[in-house]
Amino acid sequence: MNALRNCYDPEIPVNIVDLGLVYGVAIDDDNVKVRMTLTTVGCPAHAYLMHQVQTEIEKIHGVKKAEVEIVWEPPWTPDKMSPEAKKRLEAAQEPVTIEFNPATFKPRKKGHIAKNPDGRIVLINETNSRYLGSDDIAKLWEK
C-alpha cells in the first residue's frame, strides 16, 4: 500500500490511498492486482492514474506483473477520504499570496517540477506534496 502513496490524481494534492480510491490489493505470488475507483466516471486522468499505479507497483522488488482494475461500485464519495486528506484539501482551499522580488528571488530547488498530461505545471516538494504552478514559476525555478 505504501507504493500507492506515490500515486496522485494530477488535480488533487492528496495520494490515491488517502483519497480513498484504493478498494483492494490482491497478491498472488509475483502478481499484484489493485482494485480502485476514480473520483468521477469521466475522470480525465483515468489512463494516467492506471499507468502510474501499475508503474509504482512494478517497482516493488519481486513483483513481475501489476494489474489495475477500475471499478465504479461502490461509487467514490468524499467520506472515503482519510482525516488527513480532508484537512489537506481544506487547507488547499485557502489561496496563499507571497510577496517577493523576482529579480532577487532564488528558489531552494528542493523537489522538482513536472508537467501534467493536460500540460499544467506541478511543483512537487520533498514530501511529495504537489502544487499547481505556472510557466512563470517554472522560469523562476530554472534561474
Query: Looking at the structure, do residues 76 and 102 belong to the same domain, yes or no?
Result: no
Q: What are the DSSP E strand ranges found in the chain?
A: 22-28, 31-36, 65-70, 112-115, 121-124, 130-132
The answer to whether position 108 is within a domain reads yes
Query: Looking at the structure, do residues 6 and 72 belong to the same domain, yes or no?
Result: yes
Query: Looking at the structure, do residues 59 and 126 belong to the same domain, yes or no?
Result: no
The answer to whether position 131 is within a domain reads yes
DSSP string, 86-118: HHHHHHHTS-------TTT------SEEEE-TT
pLDDT at residue 118, rounded to an integer: 67
**Sequence-separated contacts (24+) of 112-120 with Cβ below 8 Å:** 113/138, 113/141, 116/10, 116/11, 116/48, 117/10, 117/44, 117/45, 117/48, 118/10, 118/44, 120/10
Mean pLDDT of 41-64: 91
Query: Looking at the structure, do residues 44 and 99 belong to the same domain, yes or no?
Result: no
pLDDT (tens digit, 9 = 90+) per residue, 16-38? 999 999 999 999 999 999 999 99
pLDDT (tens digit, 9 = 90+) per residue, 57-114? 999 999 999 999 999 999 999 999 999 888 877 765 555 566 666 667 666 667 778 7
Which of 49-53, 91-95, 117-121, 133-137 is predicted most confidently?
49-53
109-129 exposure pattern, b = at least 16 Cβ within 10 A, e = fewer: eebeeeebeeeebbbbeeeee
Query: Looking at the structure, do residues 115 and 45 belong to the same domain, yes or no?
Result: no
The answer to whether position 52 is within a domain reads yes
Query: Looking at the structure, do residues 99 and 76 belong to the same domain, yes or no?
Result: no
pLDDT at residue 22, rounded to an integer: 96
C-alpha cell at 29: 505470488
pLDDT at residue 4, rounded to an integer: 94
pLDDT at residue 89, rounded to an integer: 77
Contact 131, 141 (CB under 8 A): no
What dihedral angle (degrees, nearest 10) is formed by the CA atoms of 73, 59, 81, 115? -100
**pLDDT band for position 52 (50/70/90)?**
very high
Query: Looking at the structure, do residues 76 and 119 belong to the same domain, yes or no?
Result: no
Query: Looking at the structure, do residues 22 and 61 belong to the same domain, yes or no?
Result: yes
Query: Looking at the structure, do residues 6 and 42 belong to the same domain, yes or no?
Result: yes
48 versus 94: the higher-pLDDT residue is: 48
pTM, entire model: 0.63
Query: Looking at the structure, do residues 72 and 138 belong to the same domain, yes or no?
Result: no
The answer to whether position 63 is within a domain reads yes
